């Protein structure tokens, strides 16, 4: 880790720069080609890409069958099943508290307005496979999708080389009651979800993380009228640590993000040079013990440890950076947290590692990255709902609000708007209801 001591604010933008996003033009062109191929050839294209990218020959088809689903349960250790069930319960409990209540508001006598939350009808969940099959992300997306009441949930995840889907993902899908499971990964899965194929239903909104091809594909999907959860990028964490922090804890938190991928970014801010130096030493020591040390080491090349003067200055830096994950490893985390304005999710105190949010505390780990925490929230129950407003007027209501509308419509030169009210007022004056 590179240590920067007391940089002036003019130098902050350079220190806050994310690792270069490899959204090169060739990536976008390749994704466009995949979209066109999937739209033209449907399942045949998906089977081709499964062979090319996943090394899987899907002789039994793209959909996961009942036998494969049933067999998955026997392949997941009991201890892991128990852990997943507990995480599911915590995530469900947290998201249940987000269920909106419908309230009717009388804005003036006889004028009643209300808003109703309805589920997105068809949602697609993309869950990466490969070296780190993210069954935890399936929990984070599947729980609110189910809770929102989405009638159709389609899960896409890449097959293993043997043509099977990772059994832990299938176990989790069964726990969530998701039965439409497609063996497709990468940009081709997003293309299939956005337009549909013989085996893949088209959806209204796509959720889930992925590499730069998946990210580019999700952005392209929006051009076809399909919504996405949020702009996504490499995982990131920023830790604010004062002299009370435990360097071993902080180092573990930094590495827990660095091991996600070579383009992940970790940032450490402290007002203690001792904490910075000891944490750097701990990072180097713990790194040697990690199975994914090579991946984490690449991410650490873009990491920064920055010495600042006060907690307030560190928080100001963090709010400018707008991290996906923010850890407040300080004496008074609640007090400092009052000043947080830009962050995806915040972890308070020395005993709250970011990893608990990734798996089982109950909050959602699908969060805005790359500075989008300035203007995006993480996934929640709201992400799977759309809000429709309603209004109804009685005769008293029309008499009260009608003249207001007539005056405003005439001022904007929209005579038909005014007439829509005037005709009704005249009918009321003539005794019609």
215 SS3 class: helix
At 155, phi and psi to the nearest 5?
A: -105, 125
Catalytic residue among 324, 338, 410, 432: 324
- Does 211 appear as a known binding residue? yes
- Does 126 appear as a known binding residue? yes
Own/partner long-range contacts of 88-92 (Cβ < 8 Å, ≥24 apart): 88/139, 88/143, 88/175, 88/176, 90/360, 90/361, 90/362, 91/139, 91/140, 91/143, 91/360, 91/362, 91/364, 92/143, 92/147
Per DSSP, what are the bridge partners of residue 20?
none
Tell me the C-alpha distance between 139 and 136, whole Å. Answer: 5
Catalytic residue among 236, 302, 325, 365: 325
Secondary structure tally for the chain: helices H, strands E = 17, 14
- Look-up of token digits 């949010």: 357
Taking CA atoms, 158 is separated from 3, 23, 166, 181, 361, in Å, by 40, 22, 9, 10, 27
Per DSSP, what are the bridge partners of residue 5?
307
- Does 358 appear as a known binding residue? yes
Helix or strand run (H / E) with residue 236: strand 236-241
DSSP state letters, 342-396: S-SEEEESTT--HHHHHHTSSS------TTGGGT-PPP-GGGGEEEEEEEEE-HH
> How wide is the angle at C-alpha 97 spanned by C-alphas 91 and 101, nearest 5°?
145
- Does 257 appear as a known binding residue? yes
Helices 167-176 and 66-74 cross at an angle (nearest 10°) of 110
- Does 417 appear as a known binding residue? yes
Length of the chain counted residue by residue: 433
- Does 188 appear as a known binding residue? yes
Tell me the C-alpha distance between 147 and 161, whole Å. Answer: 33
Neighbours of 71 (CB within 10 A): 13
Which of 275, 258, 281, 264 lies closest to 314, judged by CA? 275
**The tokens of 256 are what?**
């827990």
350 as an active site residue: the answer is no
68 as an active site residue: the answer is no
Q: Where are the alpha helices (DSSP H) in 97-211?
A: 135-148, 167-176, 186-195
Binding positions for NAD(+) are 126, 188, 211
Binding positions for substrate are 235, 257, 260, 325, 358, 412, 417
Binding positions are 126, 188, 211, 235, 257, 260, 325, 358, 412, 417
Active site residues: 324-325
């Amino acid at each position: 880790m590179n240590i920067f001591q007391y940089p002036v604010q003019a130098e902050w933008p350079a220190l806050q720069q994310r690792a270069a996003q490899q959204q090169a033009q060739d990536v976008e062109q390749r994704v466009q080609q995949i979209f066109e191929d999937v739209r033209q050839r449907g399942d045949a294209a998906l089977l081709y890409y499964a062979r090319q990218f996943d090394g899987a020959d899907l002789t039994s088809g793209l959909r996961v069958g009942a036998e494969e689903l049933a067999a998955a349960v026997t392949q997941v250790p009991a201890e892991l099943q128990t852990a997943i069930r507990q995480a599911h319960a915590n995530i469900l409990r947290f998201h249940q508290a987000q269920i909106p209540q419908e309230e009717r508001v009388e804005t003036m006598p006889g004028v009643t307005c209300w808003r109703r939350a309805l589920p997105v009808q068809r949602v697609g969940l993309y869950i990466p496979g490969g070296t780190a099959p993210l069954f935890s992300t399936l929990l984070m997306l599947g729980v609110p999708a189910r809770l929102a009441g989405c009638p159709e949930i389609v899960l896409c995840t890449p097959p293993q080389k043997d043509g099977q889907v990772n059994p832990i993902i299938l176990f989790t899908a069964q726990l969530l009651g998701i039965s439409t499971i497609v063996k497709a990964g990468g940009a081709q899965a997003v293309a299939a979800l956005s337009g549909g194929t013989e085996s893949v239903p088209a959806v209204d909104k796509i959720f889930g993380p992925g590499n730069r091809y998946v990210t580019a594909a999700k952005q392209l999907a929006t051009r076809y009228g399909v919504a996405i959860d949020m702009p996504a990028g490499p995982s990131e964490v920023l830790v604010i640590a004062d002299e009370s922090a435990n360097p071993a804890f902080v180092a573990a938190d930094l590495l827990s993000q660095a091991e996600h991928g070579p383009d992940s970014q970790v940032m450490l801010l402290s007002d203690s040079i001792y904490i910075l130096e000891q944490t750097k030493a701990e990072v180097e020591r713990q790194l040697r013990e990690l199975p994914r040390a090579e991946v984490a080491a690449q991410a650490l090349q873009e990491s920064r440890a920055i010495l600042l003067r006060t907690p307030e200055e560190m928080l100001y830096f963090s709010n400018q950076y707008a991290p996906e994950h923010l850890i407040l490893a300080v004496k008074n985390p609640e007090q400092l947290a009052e000043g947080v304005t830009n962050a995806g999710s915040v972890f308070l105190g020395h005993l709250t590692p970011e990893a608990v949010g990734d798996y089982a505390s109950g909050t959602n780990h699908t969060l805005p990255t790359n500075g989008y925490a300035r203007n995006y929230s993480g996934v929640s129950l709201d992400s799977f709902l759309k809000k429709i407003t309603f209004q109804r007027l009685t005769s008293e209501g029309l008499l009260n609000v009608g003249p207001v509308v007539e005056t405003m419509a005439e001022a904007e030169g929209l005579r038909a708007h005014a007439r829509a009210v005037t005709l009704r007022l005249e009918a009321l004056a003539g005794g019609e209801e």
